[in-house]
Amino acid sequence: MSDSKSARSRIAATLRQIPPSGIREFFDIVSARKDIISLGIGEPDFVTPWHIREGSIFALERGATSYTSNRGSPRLREALTQYVAHAFGLTYASDDVLVTVGVSEALDLAVRAIVEPGDAVLYHEPCYVSYAPVITLAHGTPVPVATKRENDFRLNREMLESAVTARCKALILNFPTNPTGTTLERSDLEGIAAFAVEHDLVVVSDEIYSELTYEGERLSIAALPGMQERTIFLHGFSKAWAMTGFRVGYACGPSDLIAAMTKIHQYTMLCAPILSQEAALEALVNPEPHIAEMREAYRTRRNLIHRSLNDMGLPCHRPRGAFYAFPQIAHFGMSAKEFALRLLEEKRVACVPGSAFGESGAGFIRCSYATDIEEIKEAMARLADFVRGLNP
């Protein structure tokens, strides 16, 4: 091999500039340890309801082992149109629904369908770890808009106006938000919708936590006047249905955008796994009270963790959705990573440093309450003890 060739990296430059996920990095450390209470994982502690698992088992028994249509099984897409109409007031033709391998894939497809090299994409931060990397991998420029604790990490039109440039082509929204649990009022969403229209942006709305909304109106931006034609609505079964391992999600949107996303999906994924699609179908056609029961369990835990954190001197706004609390730790004069590592070492409690969710998450930690309530109580006792030790 010539010298010049051996000096060339085998790994694409775009990928080299992306750091590994801050959550994964932290959990590699955690998984090597025993006797730890983890408030770190963003995944339900509940097992998928039995009738949904049985739906998948029964499909396997019937010999459902084939591909489905690229867009997903027609019966599932039909059931999804009905669910989205009932739950969000959104009417889609079943051809404008694409079944994906989780919201993760749907997000990647949406961004790749829209972004050309040099285009910019707005999103609010702190945010889910994959938004910036997915934009970068599509050769776009991530434009984070910092949200603040003083304002419960809410986003509004003015904040977006001060960040937008002529290169911005899309806006990613995620309410309820991972990692802050923030939800928006109708008036905030109306302002954001007007901003998207004025700047001619496609809105990619990740509503994966929607069913886990504890108070306030559950409203999709796609349902506001004039927004459905410019919004890609993303949703999936991982969180509210406790189906992370099934890897099934979906996108609904304008025909041209869904067709463009389907083109990438058919060449890269072909289709979502048939047994997962069968499970999702069962979840929709035979809804049982499990979702409401799980939501009430999360609400009880949310109340406990929110009160405990504030009582021990970690200021925390009240999360209104998802299953995360995001208390401030900046006043202890150490980085979020140092705080999280010391908490792990000294008290064997795992939380995720807020900096994993973008620069504006520095000074916070994310505590997931998708954990058994007795474990949360014990974790709060240990955290309070840790905090007492830090105070002079």
Q: Is residue 249 a contact residue for ligand PLP (CB under 6 A)?
A: yes
CA 216, 220, 225: angle at the middle one, nearest 5? 115
Q: Is residue 180 a contact residue for ligand PLP (CB under 6 A)?
A: no
Q: Is residue 41 a contact residue for ligand PLP (CB under 6 A)?
A: no
Q: Is residue 103 a contact residue for ligand PLP (CB under 6 A)?
A: yes
- Token pair 């999936």 is found at 236
Q: Is residue 210 a contact residue for ligand PLP (CB under 6 A)?
A: no
- Token pair 């739906």 is found at 55
Q: Is residue 128 a contact residue for ligand PLP (CB under 6 A)?
A: yes
Q: How many residues bind ligand PLP (CB under 6 A)?
A: 13
User: Which residue's CB is nearer to ligand PLP, number 252 or number 312?
Assistant: 252
Instruction: Give the number of other CB atoms < 10 A from CB of residue 313.
Output: 16
Q: Is residue 238 a contact residue for ligand PLP (CB under 6 A)?
A: yes
CA 150 from chain centre, in angstroms, equals: 22
Could you tell me if 362 and 355 are in contact, meaning their C-beta atoms sit under 8 angstroms apart? yes
Question: Alpha-carbon distance 251 to 205, whole Å?
Answer: 10
Taking CB under 6 A as the criterion, which residues in 147-176 touch ligand PLP? 174
Polymer length in residues for the chain? 392
Q: Which one of 102, 181, 253, 321 is in contact with ligand PLP (CB under 6 A)?
A: 102
Determine how β-strand 37-38 pairs with β-strand 349-350: parallel
Q: Which one of 56, 136, 178, 276 is in contact with ligand PLP (CB under 6 A)?
A: 178
Nearest to 370 by CA among 392, 351, 344: 351
Please compute, for residue 232, the number of CA atoms within 13 A of its CA located in the half-sphere on the CB side.
29
Could you tell me if 21 and 179 are in contact, meaning their C-beta atoms sit under 8 angstroms apart? no
User: Which residue's CB is nearer to ligand PLP, number 234 or number 387?
Assistant: 234
CA 45 from chain centre, in angstroms, equals: 17
User: Which residue's CB is nearer to ligand PLP, number 234 or number 312?
Assistant: 234
Q: Is residue 327 a contact residue for ligand PLP (CB under 6 A)?
A: no
Q: Is residue 206 a contact residue for ligand PLP (CB under 6 A)?
A: yes
User: Which residue's CB is nearer to ligand PLP, number 102 or number 358?
Assistant: 102
Q: Write down the least CB distance from residue 20 to ligand PLP, Å.
A: 16
Binding site for ligand PLP (CB under 6 A): 42, 102-104, 128, 174, 178, 206, 208, 236, 238, 244, 249
